[in-house]
Amino acid sequence: MLLHVIETIAGLSMDEEKAFYTRLQKAAEKHLAKLAGKVKSRKVPCYVDVLFGHRAPEVVRYANKIGADLIVLTAPRLDPDKPAVGWGSLSYKISILSACPVLLVK
């Protein structure tokens, strides 16, 4: 499963900015289709989905919904002199909130 969550902007309804969110969705779908093509070329079944909402909670909710065994995502490189800066990253939030294992790839 390849998932992309488009962060919604607080105070900006999707109805008000339908064209904006539609452009983001189409770009995400195009990118995921390209990635899925690479995965499928290796004979691995692959599905894609695009959601809207707050990224960390949406990823965790979706993983729970589909019964994911593992979440794999990229993680920023941490500055050894300022390790606490990375605690606010999306990958860190998902790793803390997730019920299933999370693999962070740098």
> Angle, to 10 degrees, between the axis of helix 55-66 and the axis of helix 90-97?
40
Q: How confident is the model at residue 61, as a pLDDT?
A: 98
Chain-wide mean pLDDT for the chain?
92
Domain boundaries along the sequence of the chain: 1-53, 69-106
> Buried b vs exposed e over 5-40: b needs ≥16 C-beta within 10 Å?
bbebeeeeeeeeeeeebeebeeebeeebeeebeeee
Model confidence over 28-57: pLDDT tens digits?
999 999 999 999 999 999 999 999 999 999
Judge contact between 4 and 31, C-beta under 8 A. Answer: yes
9 token code pair: 């902007």
